[in-house]
Chain A
Amino acid sequence: MEKEFDPKIVGFFCNWCTAAAADLAGTSRIQYPANVRPIRVMCSGSVDASYVIKALLEGADGVLIGGCHPNDCHYVNGNYKARRRVALLKSILTTLDLDPDRVWLRWISAAEGVRFAKVVRQMTEEIKEKGPNPMGKSTQT
């Protein structure tokens, strides 16, 4: 019997909003799938495009970047930088005939534990439907 596809999602969470939201979701005992493997960064604006590409090349089926809501960035405007960078990255992925919808950027504030869990659930579902990342190492053999 074929094993059900269990996606690997790399999560880059900003320290001030989304990582705190993830903490809050946990503290509130909100359950969500364990598919997201979290990496705490100081700011969504520090997420280099190469991190995302590296994750996809290493076989991540999805990448979730979480930042503060517009106007709420702890570092004034890092989230806007993230937004521009991700928009550009997605257009590059599209040009390369790769699926831009494997990369998600979401604003999740420190108070939004519920939203954090919802985003993770939703993303896990959608990536499951998409199936494994074709550029991932796991499919290269």
Chain B
Amino acid sequence: MRKPRIGVFVCHCGLNIAGTVDVQRLADESRGIPGVVFSKDYIYMCSEPGQDMVEQTIKEEKLDGIVVANCSPSLHEKTFRNVAKRAGLNPFKVEVANIREQVSWPHENEKEQATRKALTVVREMVRKLTGDLELEPFQIPVTHAALVIGGGVAGIQAALDIADAGHDVYLVERTPTVGGNMLKLSETFPTLDCPQCIMTPKMTEAAQHPHIHILAYSEVEEVSGYIGNFEVKIRHRSPYIDWSKCNGCADCAEVCPVVMKSEWDHGMDTRRAAYRPFDQAVPNKFTIDKQGEPPCRAACPVHLNAHGYVTATSAKEYGQALSLIRNEARFPFAGVAGRICTHPCQEACARKEVDDKSVAIKHIKRWLADWELREKGTAHMDVETSEPSGQRVAIVGAGPGGLQAAVDLRKNGHEVIIFDAQDKPGGMLRTGIPAFRLDKDVLQKECELVFKLGVEYKPNTTIGKDIPLKKLIDDYDAIYLSVGAYKEGKMGIPGEELDGVSGGVQFLGELNRGKMPKLGKRVAVVGGGNSAMDTARSALRLGSEVTIIYRRTEREMPAISDEIHAAKEEGVKFMLLTNPAKFIGEGGKLKSVEVIHMKLGEPDSSGRRRPIPIEGSEEILEFDNVFLAVGEKPDLSFITEADNIELTPWNTIAVDEETLVTSNPKVFSGGDCVTGPATFIDAAGAGRKAARSINLMLEGLDFTRDRANELSRKSDLVGDKDLAKPIPLSPMPELAIKDRITNFNEVELGYSEEDIVAQASRCIHCGGCSECRLCEAVCEPDAIVHSLADWTEQLEVGAIIVATGYELMPLERMPEYGGGKFKHVIDAMQFERILCPSGPTAGEVRRPADGKVPKKVAFVHCAGSRDPEHGVAYCSRVCCMYLVKQAMLYKHAVEDGEAYLFYIDIRTNGKRYEEFYARTMEESHATFIRGKVSRLYEHDGKVTVFSEDTLAGQPIQLEADLVVVAPAMLPSKGTAELASKLRLATDEYGWVSEAHPKLRAIETLTGGVFVAGAIQFPKDITDVVCQASGAAGKVLAMFSRETLEREPLIAEVDPDICTGCGICEEVCPYDASTVDPVKKKAEVNEALCEGCGACAAACPSQAMRLRNATRTQLFAMIEEATRDY
């Protein structure tokens, strides 16, 4: 190897270095360092003669490397690299020894020590230089297309500037329209230009520009790649409208019954769920706002779209409402469920959070079914069935579960046959529920809807007796067992066999088959469930005195509260905390009942408190009949061992909870025979779930996957309570008591049309769009697609501009100003909308809460800004000026109004800003009070402002009609996520950090990513536009070249040593280091590597190294650093 020829150049920097370091001695001693062939000191090395001297010396002395001992490399490393280049020396053979900032300046009083330290630093750099390689910067290609994130004024300006230069720009905007905050403003200071007038033409220009692609309602999902070569994945949120077809006609919004708050008018006006933010929106397209499944719909075991049919009912679209139940959800039992459903939907309904009463969803459903029977004479259900599949399914039991399963199976084209032991369909609905609760004609009509689909019904056929179950299993492709729970429970006490002691369900069954059993005068019903109530109320109607005997209290009764209430109302007596101990007969016939009284102990496994008999409290009561309604069990005697169907220890059918498959893979089961006695809607839900399993199985698909939470989901969505209509829940009209207890006529009479529409309009629309689908019917271009899913798009761009803007600190974070609860305290953006001719009041200044014209308005500066207590120490910069402007505009609109501005300092640092401020004071006569507002207090339609006048030195209280608060500006929502996707730094407040606060205020620390507008820090429109154009200029400078130069000081791998362990891949923050799966060697992507050296430090085999900072070089430097002086 050739011996190195290194030159050392020692700079005096006037006296900055030479005043402390003995530069002469340093130069002399440097000459003694191995490899150094030349050294010289000079007064100003960076001056032109200094540079020339270095250049000449390199040439004359044929130096192959130089160390310049001067100031920090951050100042002149580049200078001397250029000198080297000019002299024909590779620029990477230049090293800087920092002997000013790190030697002479901090050791001014230790001249000897400083000189020695300077020599050490020079020796270190000489040793490093000896190992430096000659490197060339490498070239990377540039994709000439840009991504602009954020469609406000910054984004639009940057996009236009880049596009005008002929490059493609993708403008991504999160909301359905571009325009951003600026477009919401009334007028802009200090010229009072109307933003709509100056901004909408720009929006249109952008929309029509051949090089601008507006991606509205979209967000950046993933960013990979590097400067000049980014790959960006965009997620388009579904607008549920095909924008390629939508013509912006607004027909959908006109019919949409779902009212929501308008974001555009900051909650002071409303829009529909199908909406366009404002009439001049770009793109001029409509969007349907769906935020998720509402609680009512989630809670329903068959997932009826309660929100949808309630909403359609409120719009008087009854046919559509019913169609959602019958045709969309394929649920035949609108009338049945409308009468007897235990309505989990209503339990989940969020209207309760408004006035404690849920929407009367059940009654609305009943009204719809009754309306159809009334208007059309019969019930309808249109379910399109698929082509015959050639497969056959047998269902055992024609209760709600069996019938629902039949519908869902038939839909998929399977041949379905239902075997029923009864003579008519409906199961427990027919036999167990008395006619005064459920009109049997309604039940019959709805059961027939199922048969009309081509489902075969075999009545009077008992499986196990008429046909063995094994034969069904052999003959059919799948079986659904839905046989219910009919076997009545016994109490296991003496005398149960006596004549006069019988089962409640049996009694109800006889009644429902048209028999009228003869009862004695005194009747007891034992139990607290719905069957007990139904039995009691039926017995009452046969003329007996009825007493319910229940061993716990009313609170523990499993019956629904409406039934308990009705039973009491009708005159059923309740004997609580009592249980029969013995039935006493005479000649085989019941005569009396010995009861024992109970007290409640600790809760048992069901969570209810366990009844404990009180010793010695026995009592004998006279009864002629006793009905036991103490729970039913399934009768599973038809299942034989050959059927291979396992039972549980509780004698129910054992199934997999998520799929309802039994231990026999062809047989499924659900409803009461699996769960024990439960509700109608649970049975229907089980039927639906089993049908899904069977449908998947018959298609040959895996039916076990993703089935969790299918039956009952939960949703925490809550609609806008502020928009809840002040309509109370009106009670269901019922037969008078005296008209009820002598017959079996239906007790509930149903609502009037007027009532039902009012009741439906109580819905607060949790989750936005109700999918009532009224829009579909009116959309002429057929653009509405409720099933449209989000989609993604992959873009390749060379540069990215982040322009996602700001938002205001919510008033909720400022309890001293009412925390958002005061009606007459609004934020400045709301006041902008009020002042704006396109705003909710068409530009008239009126209070949003009551529409009154405020005569005295107080403006609060620095609400949250300059206030570390609120986490914001900075000044939001534009509030002073916009409040001054708002005061002026207010005075223009309300001439006799008074404007008071409470400020800390007025900051008017812009062109013509101060003059504007003066005009507001002098011409508009706004009153400026220097003092921070400490507190607001609302009372009797006024707001008292507590502050002080610091100039007069006295406290102030002002009664205002309206208070406008200027909240601190904050980075827009989602900035942190976006910054992490782009690997951008943010400051402690979340603003995106620029590369240098003074000199690189547009660049970020990620190459190729620039920042524009208020996402860097609050700034006014002028500054935003300047920065946006600046960012565009930076992008265009990049795009003016085909390739970019990159520093070669990056990592490299020695493939001979690399074992492909992948540790470098793990530690690399830039995904620059990857292990080739075939070669099993690490590779460094030159364009991605930033040269941090993490991989080299982590590499266990030392195969990875950082160019010109290798271990050998560092070790040599360490040797010098530890050398004794």
Contact surface of A with B, Cβ cutoff 8 Å:
8, 10, 20, 22-27, 29-34, 37-43, 45-51, 54-55, 58-60, 72, 74-78, 81, 85, 117, 138
Contact = CB atoms under 8 A, between A and B. Distances in A.
B1115 A77 contact: no
A52 to B, nearest CB: 9
Interface stretch (B109-117, B473-481, B721-729): B109-117
B866 interface: no
B98 A55 contact: no
Q: Which of B72, B1111, B1124 has the most CB of A within 10 A?
A: B72
A39 B98 contact: no
A45 B1121 CA distance: 20
Contact of B120 (A37, A58, A77, A117): A37
A78 B1092 contact: yes
The A interface is mostly helix, strand or loop, or mixed, namely mixed
B73 A34 contact: no
Contacts of B639: none
B462 to A, nearest CB: 72
Contacts of B223: none
B1097 A31 contact: no
Contacts of B962: none
B1121 A42 contact: no
Contacts, number: 132
B239 interface: no
B1096 interface: yes
B72 to A, nearest CB: 5
Contacts of B1118: 10, 39, 51, 54-55, 58, 60
Given A39-B1121, A60-B1122, A29 B108 contact: yes
Given A34-B117, A41-B1109, A45-B1094, A58 B102 contact: no
Contact of B1122 (A22, A42, A59): A59
A51 B1106 CA distance: 14
B1122 A55 contact: yes
A22 B108 contact: no
Interface in B97-136: 98, 100-110, 113-114, 116-117, 120-121, 124
10 contacts: A23-B72, A31-B107, A34-B117, A38-B98, A40-B98, A42-B1091, A58-B1122, A75-B1092, A76-B1070, A78-B1092
A102 to B, nearest CB: 13
A42 B1106 contact: yes
A20 B1090 CA distance: 19
Contact of B101 (A22, A32, A43, A81): A22
B74 interface: yes
A127 B1118 CA distance: 18
Contacts of A23: 72, 74, 98, 101-102
B106 A43 contact: no
A49 to B, nearest CB: 8
A50 B1067 CA distance: 18
Contacts of B73: 40
A50 B1101 CA distance: 13
A56 to B, nearest CB: 9
A40 to B, nearest CB: 7
A76 B983 contact: yes
Interface residues of B, number: 47
Nearest to B1093: A46
B1013 to A, nearest CB: 24
Nearest to B1095: A46
Contacts of B897: none
Contacts of A37: 117, 120-121, 124, 1121-1122
B98 A31 contact: no
Interface of B: 72-74, 98, 100-110, 113-114, 116-117, 120-121, 124, 983, 985, 1005, 1067, 1069-1070, 1090-1094, 1096-1098, 1106, 1109, 1111, 1114-1115, 1117-1119, 1121-1122, 1124
Contacts of A77: 1069
A34 B101 contact: no
B1069 A25 contact: no
Contacts of A75: 1069, 1090, 1092, 1094
A128 B94 CA distance: 36
Contacts of A38: 98, 102, 121
A42 B110 CA distance: 29
Contacts of A51: 1111, 1114-1115, 1118
Contact of B1119 (A22, A43, A58): A58
B985 to A, nearest CB: 7
A75 B1124 CA distance: 34
Contacts of A33: 107, 110
Contacts of A22: 101-102
A42 B1092 contact: yes
Given A23-B74, A31-B107, A34-B113, A74 B1067 contact: no
B1097 A48 contact: yes
A130 to B, nearest CB: 16
A46 B1047 CA distance: 18
A42 B1109 contact: yes
B223 to A, nearest CB: 14
A34 B1092 contact: no
A47 B1111 CA distance: 10
Given A10-B1122, A41-B1109, 13 more contacts: A22-B101, A25-B101, A26-B100, A33-B110, A37-B121, A39-B1121, A45-B1067, A45-B1097, A46-B1097, A48-B1096, A55-B1118, A81-B1067, A117-B106
B1092 A45 contact: yes
B102 A48 contact: no
Nearest to A59: B1122
A55 B110 CA distance: 25
B1122 A29 contact: no
